[in-house]
Homo-oligomer: A and B are copies of this chain.
Amino acid sequence: MRMLYQPDVNEINLSTVFYALSDQIRLDIIKTLAEIGEQSCGALEINVPNSTLSHHYKVLRESGVTHTRIEGTQRFISLRHNDLNTRFPGLLSAILQGLEPGKSS
């Protein structure tokens, strides 16, 4: 398969990250990743068609929020915790805290 673009740490852009996080499905994805760690695309139980999900994975990856590791026919997605924390200290943990139950994200 084609190369997957993922930005370098210091190319991660704040408005692009915010755009990636402005969609409820994508917030659901990163919430799940935060809770249960790296997951294959198929393992995330989100109730939308695969082609739609794939689009959201791409937005997250290209914004620098997630990292994708290829293993066989699967893609394993994880949060770029360290990179985000390096570039924008405190941002990710504030976001994840904001996604906790009762926060009506």
* A residues at B contact (CB < 8 Å): 13-16, 18-19, 21-24, 27, 87-91, 93-95, 97-99, 103-105
Contact = CB atoms under 8 A, between A and B. Distances in A.
Number of this chain's copies in the complex: 2
A105 B15 contact: yes
Given A13-B104, A14-B99, A91-B91, 20 more contacts: A14-B21, A14-B98, A14-B103, A15-B105, A18-B18, A18-B21, A18-B22, A19-B19, A19-B22, A87-B98, A87-B103, A88-B94, A88-B97, A88-B98, A90-B90, A90-B97, A91-B94, A91-B95, A91-B98, A94-B94
A79 to B, nearest CB: 15
Given A18-B21, A22-B18, A22-B22, A13 B88 contact: no
Contact of A23 (B15, B98, B103, B105): B15
Nearest to A13: B104
Nearest to A91: B94
A88 B89 CA distance: 15
